[in-house]
Amino acid sequence: MSQFAINLLFVGGSFLLYIGIAVWAKAGSTSDFYVAGGGVHPVTNGMAIGADWMSAASFISMAGLIAAGGYANSTFLMGWTGGYVLLAMLLAPYLRKFGKFTVPEFIGDRYYSANARLVAVICLIVASVTYVIGQMAGAGVAFSRFLEVEATNGLIIAAIVVFIYAVLGGMKGITYTQVAQYCVLIVAYTIPAVFISLQLTGNPIPGLGMFSTHTESGLPLLTKLNQVITDLGFNQYTADVDNKLNMVLFTLSLMIGTAGLPHVIIRFFTVPKVSDARWSGGWALVFIALLYLTAPAVASMARLNLMTTIYPEGTQAQPIEYDQRPGWIATWEETGLITYEDKNNDGRIQLYNDKNADFAATASERGWAGNEMVVNNDILVLANPEIANLPGWVIGLIAAGGLAAALSTAAGLLLAISSAVSHDLIKGRLNPNISDKGELLAARISMAIAIVVATWLGANPPGFAAQVVALAFGIAGASLFPALMMGIFSKRVNNVGAISGMLAGLTFTLVYIFTYKGWLFIPGTNTLADSPENWVLGISPLSIGAIGAIVNFAVAFGVSKVTAEPPVEIQELVESVRYPRGAGTAHDH
């Protein structure tokens, strides 16, 4: 059977499974559609959160980023897991006790203001749409490679599949589909990692393998890796970073963004009890950690494998001839994600760091005229089984896993967007008397529209997956997280304070990001070049969410102090979300 047929079998088979689950779990009421009827077991919910959470960015891009950046990109690992600690202790149990369908609904009720709810809807849509772009773009990459279709056509196939199971099943369909998607993606991610860890170190657990001895050289794996890449002019893999402030702020932005992203928060509304919401957070992180503890191993091992593929006789000897390159390099060249240019016309592939001035002398001594091969970070996980010469079915599995990761997150985001539109905008503002059936129809229509918009944006993405996603975190962390946290932990923050805080946090963050990334992400419209010399105090636009959150907190407290205290019934509402007793399932009124 050809590789293409195997890929088709795995991807097609997994899609049939998802659609089958959706038909089985069709949503009959708004409660089914928004919170899966409120009867999901915490372990099941944890698994669904895992799939919801682990996006194309986690599955496809993250290991590639770590492989390229080494220690410096540990921020993604800590940021995208540490947020669950905040979520489980500061938000989830209380929002579950509050017992409504959406995040803007809590903000609207707690700050007794339809305008606060509207601001929350806007923040939610901005963050979720930014995030969904990355998912659709990721699905496009996976499709174009594995189904050998044009990326745009691949995107349309992905959109149709999401459309069927998300629009039909709502949260109920999405929850059970996500459990299946979690299983697919975690198996797909870990199997190649285990094989590679065994090949390189003899240790079957990748997270331990990366700290063990590299069998071939007898050196610790990371020492060997450091040696190989510094020989080629790259920075040490484990090198410390100089700008610790930026590293701290970036990690913090990712953490509070994780806690503030509505598509994750609403998952906690689906469990029966407050105590279940607490357990759910722990289970979610266990399932997420299975991938996150493996990712750094995948990163370091793939980087080493890549280098030994190009320099089979060692870094002091000649690199491989272009005509002798392995088949996977040739296939990825077709997608444009690996490029080769024979700058010194010797027919070999010189892969090294030509931006390192200290290495330039060594390079010219060896007759090298510049780096000749560029490997896109996003392909690392997808190409991993091929780099390690694993059998064809593992490659098919990776294809299905990458798509599961992208589609499950896209579905969760689309649900959060559609519930904000149908429940918070249409029912909450435009037409409060809409029937349950009418609202369900509105939810389905708004989800369909969201899918079309997301697909268009996925076909025309503003940057590569993980970067765009990081921006969504800044926005969620700077606007929603502080409003939610203050709503629970302070009785004093009032409507005016919360609205000014959210707007200040959001505006501050967006202006800083757009200054460097282009206004509305339109390339070429940025006011300042996006390079460390231009950043204020060395704070990158990706890290600014943490400062935005501080602005939000400060403005909200300041404004609340000089304006009237919230009414007594609101203070009682705050009091009531703090105590678990009396939490029914999530309900409408």
Partner 1 sequence: MSGHSYDAENYWKANLRLIFGSLIIWALVSYGAAILLRPMLAGIEVGGTDLGFWFAQQGSIITFIILIFFYAWRMNKIDEKFGVHEE
From 19-27, 75-83, 427-435, 542-550, give the range in contact with partner 1 by CB under 8 A.
75-83
CB burial of residue 490 (10 Å; 0-12, 13-18, 19+): middle
| Binding status of residue 220 toward partner 1 by CB under 8 A | yes
- Candidate residues 112, 149, 207, 335; the one interacting with partner 1 per rule CB under 8 A: 207
Shortest separation between residue 537's beta carbon and partner 1, angstroms: 16
DSSP state, 539?
Answer: -
Q: Considering the complex, state which of residue 223 and residue 315 has its C-beta at the smaller distance from partner 1.
A: 223
Alpha-carbon distances, residue 3 vs 7, 228, 358, 406 (angstroms): 6, 32, 44, 22
| Binding status of residue 50 toward partner 1 by CB under 8 A | no
Residue 388 near residue 192 (C-beta atoms within 8 A): yes
x/- binding map, residues 290-329, to partner 1, per CB under 8 A?
--xx--x---------------------------------
**Residue 329 in tokens:** 């390099």
**Residue 480 in tokens:** 């929603």
Shortest separation between residue 227's beta carbon and partner 1, angstroms: 10
Q: Considering the complex, state which of residue 524 and residue 582 has its C-beta at the smaller distance from partner 1.
A: 582
Residue whose structure tokens are 């040696």: 227
DSSP state, 519?
Answer: G
| Binding status of residue 212 toward partner 1 by CB under 8 A | yes
**Residue 112 in tokens:** 């007794």
x/- binding map, residues 528-567, to partner 1, per CB under 8 A?
----------------------------------------
Look at residue 373 and give its three-state secondary structure: strand
| Binding status of residue 215 toward partner 1 by CB under 8 A | no
Q: Considering the complex, state which of residue 274 and residue 447 has its C-beta at the smaller distance from partner 1.
A: 274
| Binding status of residue 579 toward partner 1 by CB under 8 A | yes
| Binding status of residue 202 toward partner 1 by CB under 8 A | no
With both helix axes pointing from N to C terminus, report the angle between 151-162 and 3-24 in degrees, rounded to the nearest 10.
20
Residue 317: CB atoms within 10 Å: 8
Residue of 232, 236, 228, 237 whose CA lies nearest to 351:
232
| Binding status of residue 268 toward partner 1 by CB under 8 A | no
Bridge partners, 339 (sequence order): 374
Q: What distance in Å separates the CA atoms of residue 93 and residue 91, rounded to the nearest whole number?
A: 6
Q: Considering the complex, state which of residue 91 and residue 118 has its C-beta at the smaller distance from partner 1.
A: 91
Ramachandran sector of residue 26 (left: φ over 0; alpha: ψ -120 to 50; beta: rest): beta
Residue 238 near residue 71 (C-beta atoms within 8 A): yes
Shortest separation between residue 384's beta carbon and partner 1, angstroms: 18
Shortest separation between residue 584's beta carbon and partner 1, angstroms: 10
| Nearby residues of 295 by Cβ (< 8 Å), 6 or more positions away | 58, 62, 63, 66, 77, 189
| Binding status of residue 216 toward partner 1 by CB under 8 A | no
| Binding status of residue 210 toward partner 1 by CB under 8 A | yes
| Binding status of residue 78 toward partner 1 by CB under 8 A | yes
With both helix axes pointing from N to C terminus, report the angle between 274-292 and 42-53 in degrees, rounded to the nearest 10.
50
| Binding status of residue 68 toward partner 1 by CB under 8 A | no
| Binding status of residue 77 toward partner 1 by CB under 8 A | yes
| Binding status of residue 113 toward partner 1 by CB under 8 A | no
Shortest separation between residue 274's beta carbon and partner 1, angstroms: 6
Shortest separation between residue 357's beta carbon and partner 1, angstroms: 25
- Candidate residues 200, 221, 480, 499; the one interacting with partner 1 per rule CB under 8 A: 221
Alpha-carbon distances, residue 416 vs 127, 447, 570 (angstroms): 11, 9, 26
Q: Considering the complex, state which of residue 94 and residue 176 has its C-beta at the smaller distance from partner 1.
A: 94
Residue 272 near residue 171 (C-beta atoms within 8 A): no
Look at residue 449 and give its three-state secondary structure: helix
| Binding status of residue 267 toward partner 1 by CB under 8 A | no
- Candidate residues 112, 211, 322, 340; the one interacting with partner 1 per rule CB under 8 A: 211
Residue 349 near residue 322 (C-beta atoms within 8 A): yes
DSSP codes joined into one string, 323-334? GG--HHHHHHHH
Shortest separation between residue 82's beta carbon and partner 1, angstroms: 5
Shortest separation between residue 188's beta carbon and partner 1, angstroms: 20
Shortest separation between residue 379's beta carbon and partner 1, angstroms: 21
Count of residues that interact with partner 1, criterion CB under 8 A: 53
- Candidate residues 244, 355, 366, 437; the one interacting with partner 1 per rule CB under 8 A: 244
Residue whose structure tokens are 């946090």: 505
| Binding status of residue 197 toward partner 1 by CB under 8 A | no
Q: What distance in Å separates the CA atoms of residue 485 and residue 79, rounded to the nearest whole number?
A: 18
Which residues are near partner 1 by CB under 8 A?
66, 71, 74, 77-78, 81-82, 84-85, 88-90, 93, 207, 210-212, 219-224, 226, 238, 240, 244, 247-248, 251-252, 273-275, 278-279, 281-282, 285-286, 289, 292-293, 296, 572, 575-576, 578-583
